[in-house]
Amino acid sequence: MSLAQILALIIFALMFAAITSGKIHRYIAALIGAALMIVIVFLIVMKSPHAFWSVLNLAQLGHANFWLPGAHPIESQGVNWQTIIFIGGMMVMVCGLEAVGFFRWLCLYTARLAGCRVVPILVSFMLLSGFLSMFIDSITVMLFLSMVTIELARLLKFDPVPIIVAEIFAANTGGSATMSGDPPNIIIGTAYGFTFTDFAVNTGLIAWAGMLLAILYFYFVFRKSLKQQTEPAEMMKACPLPGSAIINPLLFRLATGVFITTVVLLITHAQTGLSVATIGVISAVLSIAISGRKAPKILKNVDWRTILFFFGLFVCVSGLEVTGVLEKVARLIGDLSGGKLTIAMAFILWLSAFLSAFIDNIPFAATMVPIVSDLSHSGMSLPVLAWALSLGTDIGGNATPIGASANVVGTAVAEKEGYPIGWGRFLKYAALPMVLVVGLCHLLLIWRYT
C-alpha cells in the first residue's frame, strides 16, 4: 500500500473508532477526520488540491440535472450533496410537524383505535413505527413514539420496555423499505441514482415480509407478559384524547398537508423528474412558509450537527476512495466470492447485518457504497448488491442498543423516564428476531434475484 493509502486508512479508522466510542459527538469526530484527510492526505502527501475540490464537488450544485435530473440522474461523487440537502429539508419539515403536535396526535389516535389495550397497542405501534419510518427519519419516530408509549404505560399500568424495543425494531425494518427511510438508504439511493419506486418494489416487499415476521415474533413472546389488569372501558377513559395534542388546528392542517405533499413528491419523483434534493428544499420552504413567526424557532431546532456529520463522513470516505483503498477491498470481496453473485450478496448482507449491530450503520453504508460499485464492474448486478447492503445495514442495526440511531434515541428516552434498558435485556429481546428477519431477507433475495 502507498503512504497515502495507509494514512487515509488510519485517519478513517480513528474517526470510526471515535464515532463508535460515543465519548465525543459524532459530528466532531467526522469533521476532525475530514480536516485531517484534506490536509494530510490530499494536500501534503498527494499534493493535489484538485483531488480536494473534486471531493468537495460544489460545482454539482450548479448543474440543472442535480435539481431536475429527469430520467438520467447524475452520479454522486465525493460529498453526496443530494443526501445532505434532502436530510436537511426533511429535518425542517419534521420540526414543523413536531411544533403542531402531529406525532403525538397520531400516536394517541392509534392507541385509541387499538382500544387502549396493551397487546393491540404493541402491534399497532409497531405498524405505525414501520410506516412512518418509510418517509421520515426513524430518530424522530422513536423520539415521539417512545414518549407516548411511556405516557400510556403510566396511565394503563404496563411495562413499556418490550413495546419500545419492538418499536425500535419496526422503525429500522420499515426504514429499509424505501429510499427516504433510514439514512443508509438515502446514501445508497442517491449514490446509484435509484428512485423511491426502485426501493419500494425491491427492498420494500422484502422488508415488509420481515416486518410481519417481527410482529408475529414480538406478539407471541410478549402477549402474556403484557396482559392488562384494567378493564378496557376504564383504560379508554384514562387514555388521552388525540385532540389534546393539537394546539393550533389551522397550522396542524397546513403542516399535515406539507407532509402529504412531500410523500407524494417522493413517490412520484421518478415521473416528475425531481431529485430528492429538490424535494427536500420544497418541503423545507413550505414548512417555513406556513410557520410564520415560528420559523426561526423551527430552524433553530433542526439538528445541524447531523448535517455536519454527514459532510465530514463523506469527505473521509472519499479519501479512501480517491487513494484506492476501497477498490482493494472490493477486489478482496470479489476474490472471496469467486465472482459469484449469490456468494457476494450473502457476504454483503450478513457482514452488513453483524457489523451494523455494533457500529453506526450510517458510516458503514457510506463506506460500502463505492465498494459495491467496484464489485459491479466485475459483472455482478449492482441493484442486487445494493438491496443486500440496504437490508443488512438497516435491519442488522436492530440487534444492540447502539446499532442504529433509533436504538440510541429510544433507549435514552426510556432511561431518562425511569425505564433503563440494559445491553442484556435489549439483546434478549432483539438479537434473535434480527437473525430471523435477516435470514428471511436472505432467502427472499435468493428466491427473487438468482
Residues shown for the chain: 450
Rounded to whole angstroms, the Cα distance separating 62 from 341 reads 38
| Positive or negative: CA dihedral 205, 171, 131, 370 | negative
DSSP string of 17-52, one letter each residue = HHHHH-SS-HHHHHHHHHHHIIIIIIIIIS--HHHH
Cell of 166: 419492538
Rounded to whole angstroms, the Cα distance separating 336 from 352 reads 16
| Positive or negative: CA dihedral 199, 329, 438, 138 | negative
441's enclosing H/E stretch is helix 423-449
Mutual orientation of helices 304-322 and 26-36 as an angle, nearest 10°? 40
Question: Where are the strands (E) in 383-427, listed by range?
Answer: none
Rg of the chain over Cα atoms, rounded to whole angstroms, equals 22
**CB count in 10 Å sphere of residue 169:** 31
Cell of 103: 406525532
Q: Where are the alpha helices (DSSP H) in 37-176?
A: 49-56, 64-67, 81-99, 102-113, 118-132, 138-156, 161-175
Q: Where are the alpha helices (DSSP H) in 292-360?
A: 295-301, 304-322, 325-337, 341-356
pLDDT in tens, the chain (450 residues): 899 999 999 999 999 888 877 788 888 999 999 999 999 999 999 999 999 999 998 988 988 888 998 766 666 668 889 888 988 998 899 899 989 999 989 988 998 898 888 899 999 999 999 999 999 878 888 988 998 999 888 888 889 999 999 999 999 999 999 998 888 899 999 889 899 999 999 999 999 999 999 999 999 999 888 776 666 677 777 778 899 999 899 999 999 999 999 999 999 988 888 998 999 999 999 999 999 888 999 999 888 888 898 899 889 989 998 998 888 888 888 888 888 999 999 999 999 999 888 877 888 888 899 999 989 988 899 999 999 999 999 999 899 887 887 898 899 889 888 999 988 999 999 999 999 999 999 999 999 998
DSSP string of 347-377, one letter each residue = HHHHHHHHHHTTS-HHHHHHHHHHHHHHHHT
Rounded to whole angstroms, the Cα distance separating 243 from 103 reads 12
What one-character DSSP code corresponds to residue 200?
I
Model pTM above 0.85? yes
| Domain positions in the chain | 102-245+323-449
**CB count in 10 Å sphere of residue 26:** 23
Q: String of b and e for 82-107 (b: at least 16 CB within 10 Å)?
A: bbbbbbbbbbbbbbbbbbbbbbbbbb
- CA distance to 40, 338, 344, 365, per residue, from 380 (Å): 35, 11, 9, 19
